[in-house]
Chain A
Amino acid sequence: MKAQGTAGEGGVRRHVLSVTVRDRPGVLSRISGLFARRGYNIESLSVAQSETPGLSRTSFVISGEQGTIEQLQKQLQKLIDVLKVTDHSEGPSVDRELMLIKVAVRTPEDRVEIRQIAQDFRARIIDVDRNALVFEVTGDEGKSNAFIDQMREFGILELIRTGRVALTRSASLRPTDVTSTTSRAA
């Protein structure tokens, strides 16, 4: 990653950021364009509707020094369609990743063993086929990685991961209030 922001404080750490944006055409390309333009490397990115109609929430994972991440937050905040940027590594927060993974089933013995491991991981079976099983795994990335390791010997046919999504733990946040900040045209 390119050096951005005044470096030096505390070394490289992983951060989970979430960004509340207005559903406007091109808003995602504004965000991804910002990363590309300023030399940031995101590890994962996910976007979906938020609790407020018209607003989406983007979560992404990025590694960097404190100064770099602060600079990124300020640059994101400058985008007109961005309402709020939260760094979940700053305060108490919860985060999860969802993975769907399709594992090859070659023998009846394999099937038993795979189901046993899946149980230990609390992975849910969401599709059953004669030659394959599809599991849903939620948790942190470590859990997904460990599950992938376990399944490797059986044969992983396909997998997809959402990347981390996060929310702050505190209930003190007010519901997002869009109308109160509307100002009159000059």
Chain B
Amino acid sequence: MNGAAAVLKALERQGVTIVFGHPGGAIMPVYDALYDSPIKHVLVRHEQAGAHAADAYYRASGRVGVCFATSGPGATNLVTGLATAHMDSSAMVAITGNVPSALIGTDAFQEADVTGITLPVTKHNYLVQHVDDIPRVIAEAFHIARTGRPGPVLVDIPKDIQMMEFTGTFDVEIDLPGYRPTVVGHARQIKRAAEAIAAAQRPVLMVGGGGQVAADEVMAFAEATGIPVITTLMGIGAYPAGAGQALGMPGMHGTVTANRAITHCDLIVGAGLRFDDRVTGKISRFAPNATIVHIDVDPAEISKLVKAHVPVVGDLRDVLPRLTELLGRLELDDWWQQLRTWRDMYPERFKTDKPLVSQEVIQMLERATAGDCVVTTEVGQHQMFAARLFPTSRPRTWISSGGLGTMGFGLPAAIGASFARPGETVVCVAGDGSIQMNIQELATIYKHQLPIVIAICNNGMLGMVRQWQEMFHAERYSEVYLADSNPDFAKLAEAYGIEGHNVFDRETAARIIPEAIAKKKPVLINFVVYESEKVFPMIPAGAGIDEMVIGDQEPDEGDGVAEKVGV
């Protein structure tokens, strides 16, 4: 057995059944070994897509995603995918070939310093130096990727090492004395947290991406205490969007209710989140009256941006049940009355006096699937509309690039999610700009006949950028217009062998969406929508969470002009 075969054997030992990748010179021994391996390989058409698919595979299943790439350009193509996974704490292992050891450092053909380049965007990385180290390095890579705060790990293997005779063992000890994540919360801190929560009059629970592994625990805590629940963009699905205690999403494009709750609450239980600036707005105006209880498995997130009065380091699956045990039902009638008033005053609403709008398309998708699907998104206005109108109700079913905001993520993510949850419908909510960043993956979708409905909200614009230019750059629309040179998306889909539709009106949209979802095969629908739709409410960048621009969602049928509303 050579090193390359040892790589695959080691992956098998980790339970890997599927890899997303693209071959090339420096990783050919691994691809040769793949020929005899039971591991399934999905040939993506761009390494970035392989990384996003592996990332989404983890997000959708909880099993570590794996991708392969060759040296140099193959590996550098992974960088955006690794950074996306790193920002959103997604567990994946990327394996790259490198030039033979003797050529490293000589600017050899297709050489790149991959461990150097990926250092800031991985949880850890390795350059394998001895063939017999392969099983240990792979075991460590998986261990690091999936434990503690999950993240991407890259393993770079020079070609000569892939070809050397392997004489080691697969019964390896992992050797990571510097890596001991704290998963069990400190009893005294949990007690302090319980006391603070019990004493609060107006508490809220805020759940982030960390909640995806602890949906049952979040539910139990919410049910026992009756606490209102806010889910961040990354936390969607960790608590059902439709449940009675859900207030929706906080932050820049959050709901009025969630943002007002944050401003008026006297305590926040932050669970598995990192108080990102898109959530907090200006820090000094964020939850000015609140005691912050922050539960996270990563101690470095605690008090990084928002000072935690009661820090609890640990896994939510450990901490939340112990906290629930110490708490009974909270007396929150007055608080709930206030929250319900806001919720009734500001329901999700949008105007349909215009041509077809993205928001109604997304709402139709939600109704047609009854939430029984996986949603992936690209990045832009359609993503924010989807977060508010198409939030899922089960964990690991909402897959969106939050931290990095990577256009081009959604389509390959749909591939990863589809392989992770065979048989389930995946809806990819896309923009006409974003979809073109990894459009080549239509080939992969066609080849595997994945049940993915690709819904393009085609506003002919880089809509989110256009919105900022309208609001903050005096309507100076600079390089956001796509309509004059967008492809015919239906024809494009057909060129790839995928059923494609161009849809211009509400009646057709209403008919075609349920049909497409029922088909359980790839369908691309290009919805040509109103070009000047805006995402509201909005907190302008740098403003406080209490300085929301409510816009379209004003309770009185105003003229639709954005209006500044304090709290």
Contact surface of A with B, Cβ cutoff 8 Å: 4-6, 21-22, 25-26, 29-30, 33, 37, 67, 70-71, 74-75, 77-83, 178, 181-186
Q: How far is the CA of A26 from the CA of B105 in the complex (A)?
A: 14
Q: Which residues of A contact B175 (CB under 8 A)?
A: 182
The answer on a CB contact under 8 Å between B119 and A26 is yes
Q: Flag if B174 contacts A185 (CB, 8 Å).
A: yes
- Report the Cα distance A83→B176, complex, angstroms: 9
Which stretch of B295-303, B437-445, B498-506 is in the interface?
B295-303
Cβ-defined contact, B119 with A186, below 8 A: no
Contact A5 B143 (CB under 8 A): no
Total inter-chain residue pairs, C-beta < 8 Å: 71
Contact A80/B143 with A67-B303, A185-B172 known, Cβ cut-off 8 Å: no
Are the C-beta atoms of A5 and B176 separated by less than 8 Å?
no
Q: A115–B432 Cα gap in the complex (Å)?
A: 78
- B265 shortest CB reach to chain A, Å: 19
Residue of A nearest to B140 (CB): A185
Report the stretch among B191-199, B304-312, B347-355 that lies at the interface. Answer: B304-312
How far apart are the CA atoms of A178 and B143 in the complex, in Å? 18
Contact A182 B180 (CB under 8 A): no
Chain A proximity of B136: nearest CB distance (Å): 8
User: Does B178 lie at the interface of the complex (its beta carbon under 8 Å from any beta carbon of A)?
Assistant: yes
B144 close to chain A: CB less than 8 A: yes
Which residue of chain A has the shortest Cβ distance to B303 in the bound complex?
A6
Query: Which chain B residues border A186 with CB–CB below 8 Å?
Result: 139, 142-143, 174
CB-CB < 8 A to A82: which residues of B? 178
Which residue, A78, A81, A178, A183, has most C-beta atoms of chain B within 10 A?
A78
A181 and B180 form a contact (CB under 8 A): yes
Say how far A2's CB is from chain B's closest CB, in angstroms. 13
Identify the closest chain A residue to B136 (Cβ): A185
Neighbouring B residues of A74 by C-beta, 8 Å: 299-300
Residues of A within 8 A of B244 (CB): none
30 residue pairs of the A-B complex, CB under 8 angstroms, read: A6-B303, A6-B304, A25-B127, A26-B119, A29-B116, A29-B119, A30-B119, A33-B119, A33-B120, A37-B120, A71-B304, A74-B299, A74-B300, A77-B299, A78-B298, A80-B123, A80-B124, A80-B144, A80-B176, A80-B179, A82-B178, A83-B177, A178-B177, A182-B176, A183-B176, A184-B174, A185-B139, A185-B140, A185-B143, A185-B172
Determine the chain A residues whose CB is within 8 A of the CB of B173 once the complex forms. 182-185
Pairwise interchain contact A6-B143, C-beta atoms closer than 8 A: no
B144-176, CB under 8 A of A: which get 1 and which 0?
100000000000000000000000000011111
Pick the contact of A22 from B139, B144, B177, B180 — CB < 8 Å?
Answer: B177
In whole angstroms, what is the CA distance A150 to B129 when docked? Answer: 51
The reply to whether A75 and B300 contact each other, CB–CB distance below 8 Å, is: yes
Excluding A21-B178, A80-B123, 18 further A-B contacts by CB distance (< 8 Å) are: A5-B304, A6-B304, A22-B178, A29-B119, A33-B119, A70-B303, A71-B304, A77-B300, A78-B298, A79-B178, A181-B176, A182-B176, A182-B177, A183-B174, A183-B176, A185-B139, A185-B140, A185-B143
